[in-house]
A and B are shown apart, each in its own frame.
Chain A
Amino acid sequence: MIQGLFMLGYLVILLAIGLGAAFAMGLASLIYFGAARGIDNIPFEIMVQRVVSGIDSFTLLAIPLFIFVGHLMNESGATTRLFSFANNLVGPMRGGLAQVNVLASMLFAGMSGSGTADAAGLGNIEIRAMRDAGYDDRTAIGITVGSSLIGPIIPPSIPAILYAILAGVSATDMLLAGLIPGLLMALVLMLMSAYYARKYNQPRGIFPGFAKLWSSFVAAFGALLTPIILLGGIMFGIFTATEAAAVAGLWAFFLATMVYRSMGLIGIISVLRRSAYDSAAIMFILGCSAILAWILTRAQVPMTIANWLIGLSDNPIFIMVLVMIFLLIIGCFMSVAVAINILTPILVPIMIVYGLDPVHFGIVMIMLLVIGEATPPFGMVLYVITNISKRPFEFVVMASFPYIVAILGVVIIIAIFPQLALWLPNAVR
């Protein structure tokens, strides 16, 4: 057991010196085996078996497919169509472009499972449009960063699939549990934007007329069907999460090549290449984390930490608050995928001991870690928006701060009211 705790120490050191997360997890496990069994008895076969079994899962195939759908939607021009439709719908309100920003991100979140993809795809269009309409950079950048965080929460969600596999819960439950929290995030950001619009007398757009609104809806209709295919297919039991992701991939391919006619064979191959690269980077970490999870379980590390925490307090609310603060801090330093891989096998057994629902905890955990995408020093969304907006990193951080605090408020609400996450999966089951 002590060796298991030491292994976590080696892992922290290796991660802190900047070694690739997959290598850090693999090496920490290797050192553990060396220390526990002796250098001559390191079970190399078990290590490889764990890595392959960590990757070899049908449910897991949803991750590369969600990445593929996100890239394809970005490249095919679906994002521009979604933005145009959202602009015609809510643009005429005071501060309408801030509302457009949130609505477009929410719609895009129904096809992409990543905040970075949202920031890179829609962020550019959103910031440019807001600047042209006379919005100050603080509002344009802040709301763009905030709305990008909806992407990994609303299904399809890559972190939800990762968590489901590592925590041993249903991927369908995890995907559905993210829908209401994601919509709540969007609602809070919209309310906040409406408040700022009045306070700072932000501009309003001109209503383009029902004919133009209708034509923009028709243009975006194909893209808007993607989340319906995904969620409808899963909710009505037509396909599994992985099959739904593949069908959504086929639909996105059909839109890009046949309907929008914006991509040819070369464009599709380029999207496939990027998707394979991104998927390999994430899934290699997942494979290496499987060795770590195996050791942690065998060494009973989570149970030891749980017993220690019970000694500290048997109040689940206190423990939940403690873990939430810990996750918020960790999220600042680790990417969502890495943190989920490392922490899920440790934290989930502890939460179960305290009687918390693993699906509810998973959504809270993902939301807290996703906030880290927009906090320094490791926030990928911040770097993407800094690059797009050409403003200093510090400015982007400060502009995003109020929106991040609002999202944190939503996480606290979800933590207090588990039914907000659990109602939908329970209703569908």
Chain B
Amino acid sequence: MLTEVSDALATFAFAGFLCAIIAQVAYRYIGISMVWSEELARLLNVYMVFFGVILVTARRGHLKIDVLERSITSPLFLRTLRIVHLLLALVFLLCLAYGAYLLTLSSWGHRLATMAWANHGMFYLAPLIGSLLSAALIVLQIVEEFTSARAEEGLC
């Protein structure tokens, strides 16, 4: 459910900034200035990235160097390594979420230059949502690793 919603929102944000840039080009050539389109495109891009990060985390698709992982043959060692990765990622995401929370609060009152209805806090709300939900998914993945380890021990 969470990944489906993130997927839909990231796709919507992508389509949104594509339209905003095209509108900017089109309106420039018919002589109408759309000063807000660039800021809107940038805002939607930030949301696309952080909704996308939730999806990338859910699919364990973060780019990495997996030479060590591929050279390990022991399932126990491999699982331990995966849990270490997840715990380290969790620490970073929680720090990011905390920083984003502080910034969202402090900049919520500051309006954007070209879009009166929006404010600077909205730029930081995206990493807050993205890192918090990604952190939640990582907690689930850690639980999953422990559960499958126990199940395998039970089978043995």
Contact = CB atoms under 8 A, between A and B. Distances in A.
A412 interface: no
A61 B17 contact: yes
Interface size class of A (residues with CB under 8 A): 35 or more
Interface of B: 7, 10-11, 13-15, 17-18, 21-22, 24-25, 38, 41-42, 45-46, 48-53, 55-56, 61-70, 81, 84-85, 88-89, 91-93, 95-96, 98-100, 102-103, 106, 123-124, 126-127
Interface in A249-283: 249-250, 269, 272-273, 275-277, 279-283
Contacts of A405: none
Interface string A59-73: 011001100100000
A285 B56 CA distance: 12
A255 to B, nearest CB: 15
Given A61-B41, A273-B11, A20 B85 contact: yes
Contact of A55 (B11, B18, B46, B84): B46
A287 B62 contact: no
B56 A280 contact: yes
B52 A280 contact: yes
B92 to A, nearest CB: 4
B67 A48 contact: no
A272 B56 CA distance: 15
Contacts of A246: 18, 21-22, 25
A281 B63 contact: yes
A52 B103 CA distance: 11
Interface in A216-254: 239, 242-243, 246-247, 249-250
Q: Which 10 A-B pairs have the closest CB atoms?
A: A280-B52, A20-B62, A44-B99, A48-B99, A246-B21, A276-B10, A276-B14, A26-B92, A23-B89, A283-B49
B15 A338 contact: no
Q: Is the interface of B mostly helix, strand, loop or mixed?
A: helix
Contact of B42 (A42, A61, A280): A61
Contacts of A27: 88, 91-92
Nearest to B38: A58
A68 B18 contact: yes
A65 B18 contact: yes
A377 interface: yes
Contact of B103 (A19, A26, A49, A378): A49
Interface in A292-348: 333-335, 337-338
B65 A243 contact: no
B49 A247 contact: no
Interface stretch (A10-18, A146-154, A180-188): A10-18
Given A17-B81, A276-B10, A377-B67, A61 B21 contact: yes
B46 to A, nearest CB: 6
14 contacts: A14-B88, A18-B68, A20-B62, A23-B62, A23-B89, A23-B93, A48-B102, A52-B126, A58-B41, A273-B10, A277-B56, A279-B14, A283-B45, A377-B67
B42 A239 contact: no
Given A30-B92, A277-B56, A44 B98 contact: yes
Contacts of A283: 45, 49, 52
Nearest to B72: A18
A65 B123 CA distance: 21
Contacts of B15: 272
B66 A287 contact: no
A15 B15 CA distance: 33
Contacts of B85: 17-20, 23
Given A243-B24, A276-B14, A378-B65, A47 B56 contact: no
A393 to B, nearest CB: 11
Interface string A34-63: 000000001011111101100111101100
B49 A279 contact: yes
A341 to B, nearest CB: 10
A408 B54 CA distance: 38
A242 B96 CA distance: 28
A417 B46 CA distance: 39
